[in-house]
Chains A and B, each alone.
Chain A
């Protein structure tokens, strides 16, 4: 197994004047891992990637790649490859020349460049387009050309900055799968920036959730989904997002709008909480919270219901049984283990 490509960020701070874009970022990426940096725009995920690439300098902190401090090293000396959101292909060069460029810069011999370029192009299925200029390619082909340019050099790190965001929905799904296969077959460490939680969930071995210049949570996608450690992460991960309602905990139960639901959490005393329930964990069963169906979004195999419960709005995803009509009164509940509790003031998981 390729053991290159370990990354360690140690207390990275980035200031833009008085604004702190990154407020102390720490994480470690293991060799061969597919690591996603997930967060809303302006959360610092792209800045983190740029610092890792060597395109930006951190204000303080250390970046370590494969045990070596690279904080002051130029991008060109870091042996990392990157796919940009705009692809940044060189418009005056053919696809072949674009892919060959990193090899030329690394002073690879002419005889070795040709087969390497063809091999990289074949892997992303553009080996029939090598003589074209980027302007003559479709968006998807340009994206593949950018990928080929990044993989041709066999760099120790493969950085991707929202590489799928300029593709249409169908192509995005296809490319997502291919990207994952490609990364697996190359065994290279990949760091992937995205604001799309679904992309991060499906692609990443582990992910870091960014909010306002800080990492809120690091973990495997299933862990982060199952146990979001703050209200903000809970609201960001999952589609539709988790229902978050103010309530009160007492004695193994939560009280919402005057109604009680049993929870498996055991906390001493009683306190104000924010109750989180995923739409998919909501069940239409008698003996729960009385609600009214506002709107039904029928997606074919499932339906998403907008429910009104006192002053709160909840969403429920139902996949079996009869779908209630709009305006109908229903009773919703959730299994005790599906109820998440967050502190009402710190907004952290309880």
Chain B
């Protein structure tokens, strides 16, 4: 009896430690974004303070507003997501269904691109964009983002397409549907969940991306992940503003995560049990 209670207490204790480590950065950001610069620097740290929205007012509507950067992030993320999905859905369907030569190799290649360390390929990308004059442009950054979002999206979607029995497609042909109509009317409605999950992941990856953006963007196209560093300089770090921008940058991610939660959980377990996950 004691043994069991001890076990439960231990599990709760360990969970709390992990939860704290996870939640702390978010709590820290939110708290500091609501403080004044003096309160941030106070030692010992103040847990009770008069909250102010001054930092948010400054970063949104002040002289160094990050609104253009948020807009940049949205354009890049939405653009990447749209182009990725337009190409990934037919590609994944083809990989799942058609007997194309080299299909297995293509599947492996798609996965292998996910294993490369991004740092290793960033210089060639930089050179390519500079040579075609696409540095610091939306099309340039979206093109480079496609190089990792597209394989990822295809890989994720293939398992959803494979889950649909081929007989259902044949039934549609017999019913007089063309291959295109079958894909549109029969297949895609059944992989809606998978498409939703993929859209969320692709969007988030693009939204959170930092390494490529810092090298390939400039003053025209400057996503919010890079713009945060406006508040860090050699002389000082504007902690409240930095925290406010962090919170603003996290907001779409958190909202999207909550909205898509149901689909994401289903998506990650798809294929675990035969016939599970769908519907």
Q: Which residues of A contact B (CB under 8 A)?
A: 53-55, 74-76, 80-82, 84-86, 88, 90-92, 101-102, 105-106, 135, 149, 153, 159
Q: When the two chains form their complex, are residues B176 and A82 in contact, meaning their CB atoms are under 8 A apart? A: no
Asked whether A76 and B177 contact (CB < 8 A) given A86-B165, A88-B165, the answer is yes
Q: Which residues of A contact B176 (CB under 8 A)?
A: 76, 102, 105-106, 153
Q: When the two chains form their complex, are residues A105 and B175 in contact, meaning their CB atoms are under 8 A apart? A: yes
B172 to chain A: closest CB distance in Å? 8
Q: Which secondary structure dominates chain B's binding surface?
A: helix
Q: How far is the CA of A106 from the CA of B168 in the complex (A)?
A: 18
Q: Which 9 pairs between the two chains have the least Cβ-Cβ distance?
A: A105-B176, A88-B171, A102-B175, A75-B173, A88-B167, A92-B189, A82-B174, A88-B168, A76-B176
Q: Which residues of B contact A81 (CB under 8 A)?
A: 174-175
Q: When the two chains form their complex, are residues A84 and B190 in contact, meaning their CB atoms are under 8 A apart? A: no
Asked whether A86 and B181 contact (CB < 8 A) given A75-B174, A76-B173, A102-B175, the answer is no
Asked if B279 CB lies within 8 Å of chain A CBs, one says yes
Interface residue tally of chain B, by bracket?
A: 10 to 19
16 contacts between A and B (CB under 8 A): A55-B173, A75-B173, A76-B176, A76-B178, A85-B167, A88-B167, A90-B171, A90-B186, A90-B190, A91-B278, A91-B279, A101-B172, A101-B175, A102-B175, A106-B176, A153-B175
Q: Which residues of A contact B173 (CB under 8 A)?
A: 54-55, 74-76
Q: Which residues of B contact A105 (CB under 8 A)?
A: 175-177, 181
Q: When the two chains form their complex, are residues A84 and B175 in contact, meaning their CB atoms are under 8 A apart? A: no
Q: How far is the CA of A91 from the CA of B174 in the complex (A)?
A: 17
Q: Which residues of B contact A90 (CB under 8 A)?
A: 168, 171-172, 186, 190
Name which residue of chain B comes closest to A77, CB basis.
B176
Q: Which residues of B contact A53 (CB under 8 A)?
A: 170, 174
Name which residue of chain A comes closest to B168, CB basis.
A88
Q: Which residues of A contact B189 (CB under 8 A)?
A: 92
Q: When the two chains form their complex, are residues A149 and B175 in contact, meaning their CB atoms are under 8 A apart? A: yes
